[in-house]
Amino acid sequence: MEGARLAAVKALAATCYSRLLLFERPLDKEISEVPSELELELGLLSAEDLGEYVGLLPGASSAAVLARLRRGDVCFCARRQGDLIAVSWAVFGTARIRYLRSSLSLSVDEALIDGVFVAPARRSRDVWPALGAYGLSWLRNAGYRRTLIAVLSSNRAALRSHAKLGYGDCGVVYGVGIGPLRALIRRSRPAGAPGYRCRHEEVRQPAPESALDRPKPHG
């Protein structure tokens, strides 16, 4: 039964409807380090690390990663004894959410966290929470006010990890429609309110923006 449900969800996501939970993490609140069971070296990915990145993520391409770095996206990385074992990205301006096949508009002081990946052999060791806390501190020091992250409701492991970082439920985002009529709908839940309020973030998929127009980290 669960397999049939998952197949139905994937079929909808591939056609006309997909849905993710949206969580926020205000950066004016205390950011505590989350210790990993492993000794990690945390930092930023550079263009010199492209080969390692492609070796870590199945299906990744050096050209696509380099394009993201040049666009201004920031990639946080964790190493274990020099080996790259985990990555995550911070996106600014207009953030493309691949699962929804739509884009989310961000304020100049917001960042969307996406592309979280931990090497399979290193999972369940609090690697992502440790890397996530590093990323939150980096973004706060760069002048950002809030981070967002979109998650499948069925991804219980991710929900637990995000909770360790202080993320709280702030709404739902939907990708609705087909082709050029695809729309992103965001239903926000105000703090302390039990329900959601709905608004269209974008009516159509936007054209790719210039790297010169994308907000850059500052500070």
Model pTM score: 0.79
Domains of the chain from N-terminus onward:
15-202 (3.40.630.30)
Going residue by residue through the chain, which has 219 residues, state the pLDDT in tens, using 9 for 90 and above.
556 655 555 555 556 778 899 999 999 999 998 999 999 999 999 999 999 999 999 999 999 999 999 999 999 999 999 999 999 999 999 999 988 888 899 999 999 999 999 999 999 999 999 999 999 999 999 999 999 999 999 999 999 999 999 999 999 998 887 776 777 788 887 654 544 444 444 433 333 333 334 445 544
Burial zone of 27 (CB within 10 Å; 0-12 exposed, 13-18 middle, 19+ buried)? buried
